[in-house]
Structure 1
Amino acid sequence: MESVYERIASEIYDKSYAIVDDFISEDLRASLLQEQTELLEAGKFRLAAVGKGEKKQIRTEIRNDQVLWLNPDELSRYESIYWGEVEKVRLAINQRCYMGLKSFEGHFARYPKGSFYVRHMDQFQQVIYRQVTVIIYLNDSWSEEDAGMLRMYLPQANGSEEILDISPIGGRLVVFLSGEIPHEVLPTNKERISITGWLKDID
């Protein structure tokens, strides 16, 4: 029987993205969310920037979420468990798609009520090593009225785009090719929490 990791790899190969509900256990989701809350209360989060290196800047008209980068060498118990799950995804994608993925980087991402991130690509000139975007949502509950969907613009063979809106339901994993799918976070009506990261072809 195909594992969930093999399924993700197959869908990445076939259509460039995959969505898996209940990818992590409810206990792990709740523990990661609690950890995020404690780190936020401790003042660890910062406004997210756009660009890289000398071009890095705060542009709240483009994005106004808050992030806390996670250090792979100093992961908590629960972060380590999640990193282990992403490692299985990495291995499966490499086996199916021959992408040469070597490492993972990620951060907690918090979108306060009213925040958003306009259409963009995760892979650009300064971060061409980002190959696969990996997002796990940690929200306790989510309804259509809460908005804040991830909107993906899926390129079609005829040059058009298909729009796919994905609700940030807790435990849901979204994986997609960073250099192929433009996307945005629509304005959210309540706080929205995830761990967002990238599988890279460098160490």
Structure 2
Amino acid sequence: MDYLDMDADFPYAQNERVAEALYQNGWVVIDNYVPAKFREALLKEQQELLDKGQFRHAGIGKGESFAIKPEIRSDKVLWMDKEQLTPLQEVYWKMMDDLKRKINQRCFLGLRSFESHFAMYPPGSFYLRHLDQFQSVKYRIVTVILYLNEHWEEAAGGALRMYFNGEDGIETFRDFYPFGSRLVVFLSAEMAHEVLPTHKERISITGWFRDDEY
């Protein structure tokens, strides 16, 4: 696969930087995390899976409490099966395995496994403010998002809004647009966030490092 020949350090070049920033701040945003050809290949694969009707409406909660609530979130997802990964997904999974190892070395979080899905937000969709770690998913420790979008402009909306507690107790926020190849990593239990309404199709791979096996 020619995208693997672009950089001898790909796909692990920036993982130590990510781990250090997570240790220092509890979150990090890295642009150009993966080469354009790799992102384009993942985006193409996502589109093919979407065209085959394999995506499902995302829901809220886990197990018996799971429910589809479009007034809260209106994206569609396709979970990756670690036992049946495509060659592209295997490359990404190995990249995340290395990142998990680097985060454990630097942050001592005891991360043991990884789960991930493709996420597609149709035009007009959103996800209201929330935390990724809650009562039924306490095993989610670190959230990892890689954006796959092509030619994204701020006018298209769809920003990830992240909320921060200031030293003076006043809450602030920052908006990060889903530019292609941008990676966002943060502590799942500490970073409240939301996806603002998007005006065009918005694509990402969203995943979580867990402190348990599954």
TM-score normalized by structure 2? 0.92
1:163 to 173, 192, 196: 173
Residue 157 (structure 1) shift:
2.8
Cα separation, 2, equivalents of 1:57 and 1:80: 30
**Partner residue in 2 for 1:33:** 43
1:190 aligns with 2:200: yes
Q: Secondary structure at the match of 2:40?
A: helix
**What secondary structure sits across from 2:48 in the alignment?**
helix
TM norm structure 1 = 0.97
8 Å CA contact 1:155, 1:181 repeated in 2:
no
Given candidates 159, 162, 166, the residue that maps to 1:152 is 162
Provide, for residues 25-59 of structure 1, a one-character-per-residue CA deviation record: whole Å limited to 9, x for no partner: 11110111111111111010000000011110000
- The question of 1:119 aligning with 2:132 is answered no
Paired position in structure 1 for 2:14:
4
Which residues of structure 2 form unaligned runs of 5+?
Answer: 1-12
Secondary structure in structure 2 of the residue aligned to 1:168: coil
* Aligned 1:85-124 pairs, distance under 5 A: 85-124=95-134
Q: CA deviation at 1:123?
A: 0.2
Aligned pairs for 1:33-72 (under 5 A) are: 33-72=43-82
The alignment of Structure 1 onto Structure 2 pairs a total of residues equal to 201
Identical pairs, percent? 51
Distance in 2 of aligned mates of 1:82 and 1:162: 33
Q: Is the deviation greater in 127-136 or in 75-84?
A: 75-84
Shift of 1:13: 1.0
Measured on the aligned residues, the alpha-carbon RMSD in Å equals: 0.8
1:141 Cα offset (Å): 1.2
Residue 145 of structure 2 is aligned to residue 135 of structure 1: yes
Structure 1 gap ranges (5+):
none
Determine helix, strand or coil for the equivalent of 2:162: strand
Q: Deviations over 1:6-25 (max 9, x none)?
A: 11111111111011111111
Q: 2:93 aligns with which of 56, 78, 83?
A: 83
d(CA) in 1 for partners of 2:57 and 2:83? 23
